C-alpha cells in the first residue's frame, strides 16, 4: 500500500496528476464529509460525555456580620462555582462502503510493470482519504474549508462559514461586578451579595462545507476493461464523489484499515484546539472591607470583591486523530 499518482485524460494522452491537482481531490473528499459527517458532537440538556466538567468561578461578598456595639469586621470572600457539562461528543455513524473488485478505484501508471492499474483499497486510502483527514485535523487551516465537517467553539451564535449546533451555551464565564456592590445592601448576619456580569458565552458550531470542483477528472477501469472518466454525481461506484464520501466517513468513524485516522473530540486532551478557548476568569483582589451603620445597635460589616480580572482555568475543545 502506498500513495499513487492518479491519471487523467488530456487530449488523447494519459497524464499523471500533479500534487496540486491531487490536493484538489483530497479537498473534494473533505467537502463531501462536511455535508454528512460521521463523527458528531451535540449539546446535551443535562450532562454530556466529554470530560472534564468545566467550572466557572467568581467571587461574591463575604457573609455579612452584625453586632450591637461596633463594626465587627468580616471574613473571606465567598466563591460561587457553576459546573458546565453540556457537550456530548464522538457519536459515530458507520457507513456502508464499496467492495473492492480489483477495478473499483482510480487508475495510476505502475512503472514496474509498465501498465495502467487500478488502485487497491489501501492505495486509495493512502492517496486520497488519509491525507484529507490529516488536513482536517491539522493545527491550522491551510485553505478555507479544510476543517469542513469538524466542530469548534465560538463566542458568538452567528459565525460566517459555521452552523450553530445549539443556542444553549456550553460554557459561560462570569465575574464579580465590583461596581455594583454597596454598603447600603449589606444585609443581616450570614447573608451575601452576588453581583456579577457575563464575560463570554461559548457555543458549539460545525464548520460548513466549501464547494470545490477539481480541474481534472479521475479515471477508472470499466467492466469491459476500458478506461472511463468517473461521473461526479449520482450514487454508485461510477460516481467518484460518492466513493470519496463513503470512505472518508468510514475511516473517520471506524478505523478498520489503518491506525491514527479516527476523528475524535475531547476537552484539554490530545490534539488541536478548535475555535475559541473557554476561559474562566475571576477578580484577583482579597476583598474590600466595607461597613454599614443601620442605626441604634445595628452595626454591619461585609467584604466586597475587588481587583483585576485573572485567568483561573482554560478549557480547550480539541479535535484529535486517533
- 125-164 confidence digits (pLDDT tens): 999 999 999 999 999 998 999 999 999 999 999 999 999 9
Q: What is the mean pLDDT of residues 59-66?
A: 98
pLDDT of residue 170: 97
Average pLDDT rounded to a whole number, residues 216-230: 94
Number of structural domains in the chain: 1
Lookup: cell for 61 = 461578598
Is residue 267 one of the residues assigned to a domain? yes
Residue 166 lies in a domain: yes
The pLDDT confidence band at residue 234, using thresholds 50, 70 and 90, is low
In contact, 173 and 278? CB cutoff 8 Å: yes
Within a domain: 1 = no
Task: Tell me the residue range of the domain where 239 lies.
Answer: 7-321
CA distances from 198 to 51, 154, 183, 201, 204 (A): 23, 15, 23, 7, 18
Q: In this model, does residue 263 exceed pLDDT 80?
A: yes
Q: Is residue 219 part of a domain?
A: yes
18 occurs within a structural domain? yes
Nearest Cα to Cα of residue 89 among 52, 131, 137: 52
What's the pLDDT score for residue 256? 60
Q: How far is residue 151 from each of residues 90, 164, 265, measured CA to CA in Å?
A: 11, 10, 8
Average pLDDT over every residue of 218-239: 84
Nearest partner of 165 among 180, 149, 179, 176, judged by Cα: 149
Please give the torsion angle defined by the CA atoms of residues 49, 51, 57 and 63, in that order, rounded to the nearest 10 degrees.
Answer: 80
| Per-position DSSP letters for 189-232, written without gaps between them | TT-----EEEEEEEEEEEEPP-----SS--EEE-TTS-EEEPBS
The pTM of this model reads 0.94
Average pLDDT over residues 60-89: 96
Adjacent-strand bridge partners of 319: 265, 272
Sign, CA dihedral 165-207-266-201, equals: negative
Tens-place pLDDT, residues 179-199: 999 999 999 999 999 999 999
Per the domain annotation, does 2 fall within a domain?
no
Please tell me the least confidently modeled range out of 129-133, 144-148, 208-212, 238-242: 238-242
Show the CA angle centred on residue 69, arms to residues 63 and 72, nearest 5°.
30
Displacement of CA 158 from its chain's centroid (Å): 16
Q: Is residue 171 part of a domain?
A: yes
Structural domain includes residue 202 = yes
Amino acid at each position: 500500500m502506498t500513495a499513487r499518482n492518479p491519471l487523467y485524460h488530456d487530449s488523447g494522452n494519459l497524464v499523471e496528476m500533479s500534487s496540486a491537482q491531487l490536493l484538489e481531490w483530497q479537498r473534494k473528499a473533505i467537502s463531501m464529509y462536511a455535508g454528512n459527517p460521521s463523527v458528531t458532537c451535540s449539546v446535551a440538556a443535562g450532562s454530556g460525555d466529554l470530560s472534564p466538567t468545566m467550572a466557572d468561578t467568581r467571587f461574591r461578598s463575604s457573609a455579612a456580620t452584625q453586632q450591637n456595639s461596633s463594626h465587627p469586621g468580616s471574613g473571606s470572600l465567598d466563591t460561587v462555582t457553576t459546573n458546565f457539562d453540556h457537550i456530548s461528543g464522538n457519536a459515530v455513524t458507520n457507513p456502508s462502503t464499496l467492495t473492492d473488485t480489483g477495478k473499483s478505484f482510480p487508475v495510476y501508471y505502475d512503472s514496474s510493470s509498465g501498465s495502467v492499474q487500478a488502485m487497491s483499497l489501501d492505495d486509495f486510502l493512502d492517496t486520497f482519504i488519509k491525507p484529507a483527514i490529516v488536513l482536517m485535523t491539522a493545527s491550522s487551516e491551510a485553505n478555507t474549508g479544510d476543517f469542513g465537517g469538524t466542530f469548534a467553539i465560538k463566542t458568538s451564535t452567528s459565525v460566517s462559514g459555521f452552523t450553530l449546533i445549539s443556542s444553549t451555551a456550553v460554557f459561560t464565564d462570569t465575574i464579580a461586578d465590583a461596581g455594583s456592590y454597596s454598603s447600603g445592601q449589606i444585609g443581616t448576619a450570614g447573608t451575601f451579595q452576588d453581583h456579577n456580569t457575563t464575560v463570554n458565552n461559548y457555543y458549539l458550531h460545525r464548520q460548513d462545507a466549501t464547494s470545490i470542483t477539481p480541474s481534472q477528472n479521475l479515471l477508472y477501469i470499466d467492466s469491459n476493461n476500458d478506461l472511463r472518466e468517473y461521473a461526479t454525481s449520482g450514487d454508485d461506484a461510477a460516481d467518484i464523489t460518492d466513493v470519496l464520501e463513503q470512505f472518508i466517513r468510514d475511516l473517520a468513524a471506524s478505523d478498520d484499515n489503518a491506525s491514527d485516522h479516527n476523528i475524535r473530540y475531547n476537552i484539554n486532551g490530545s490534539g488541536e484546539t478548535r475555535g475559541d478557548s473557554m476561559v474562566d476568569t475571576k477578580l484577583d483582589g482579597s476583598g474590600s472591607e466595607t461597613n454599614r451603620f443601620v442605626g441604634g445597635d445595628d452595626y454591619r460589616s461585609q467584604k466586597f470583591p475587588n481587583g483585576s480580572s485573572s485567568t483561573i482555568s482554560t478549557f480547550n475543545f480539541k479535535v484529535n486523530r486517533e
